[in-house]
Amino acid sequence: MGLLIKLFLCFLKIGAFGFGGGYTILPLIEREIVTNNHWINYKEFIDIIGISQITPGPITINSATFVGYKVSSFWGSLYATIGVVILPFILVSVATHYILKFKESILIKSVLMGMRPALIGLIICAFLSLAKESYYDLKSVIIGVLTMILLLHKKIHPIIIIIISGVLGIIFTGNFQISIT
């Protein structure tokens, strides 16, 4: 099977089963692009998540575009991105009609209530997986705890948190030089 078709089908699968979006889909993305296909390594996977937080768009689209480009340049990014968005677009278009029609249905409400705890479980799983690689020394733990305190207790805007974290990363590593290669 051609590489572009393989990229398309892989991200089609990710898009089809990405219920909950965002962090809930990270375990599936990790399994498909890091473990099963070896298109990127785990460090690059974490970098995608970080970049996704400072660029517009969902994590799934950003990862599809990044991985596709890394694997097969422009065409890879195009195939992967189309793959990840086409089924959700169709499903949301169809589902919206029926959800609005049956929004008072006990069955629909029960399904959605049952999915909530599973989605939280997926988010916790993604957190634990990322934490193993992200909290590698005392400085990274300090940044994580400080971030949590600022978000939960001080209600500081997440963009400010990201900037503060970046500055702390520079200070803690002592890398004050900018090099463009």
Instruction: Answer whether residue 176 shows pLDDT above 70.
Output: no
User: Tens digits of per-residue pLDDT, 124-142?
Assistant: 887 888 888 788 888 888 8
User: Tens digits of per-residue pLDDT, 37-93?
Assistant: 999 998 898 888 888 777 777 888 888 999 999 999 999 999 999 999 999 889 888
Angstrom distance (rounded) from CA 172 to CA 181? 23
Same domain, 163 and 106: no
Percent of the chain past pLDDT 90, that is, above it, reads 25
Q: Are 130 and 120 in contact (CB under 8 A)?
A: no
Same domain, 102 and 128: yes
Same domain, 57 and 23: yes
Choose the most confident range, by mean pLDDT, from 26-40, 85-99, 142-156: 26-40
Same domain, 152 and 90: no
Same domain, 53 and 129: yes
Instruction: Answer whether residue 19 shows pLDDT above 60.
Output: yes
- Please give the residue that has the higher pLDDT: either 116 or 68: 68
Same domain, 89 and 27: yes
Spacing of C-alpha 136 from chain mean position: 21
Same domain, 17 and 106: yes
**Which residue segment(s) compose the domain that 180 sits in?**
135-181
Structure tokens at 73: 């340049």
Write out the H or E segment, with its range, that includes residue 98. Answer: helix 59-101
Q: What is the pLDDT of residue 138?
A: 87
Same domain, 40 and 88: yes
The closest alpha carbon to 46, from 64, 25, 22, 63, belongs to: 63
Same domain, 65 and 146: no
Number of domains in the chain: 2
Q: What is the pLDDT of residue 72?
A: 93
pTM of the model: 0.63
The closest alpha carbon to 85, from 67, 66, 62, 69, belongs to: 62
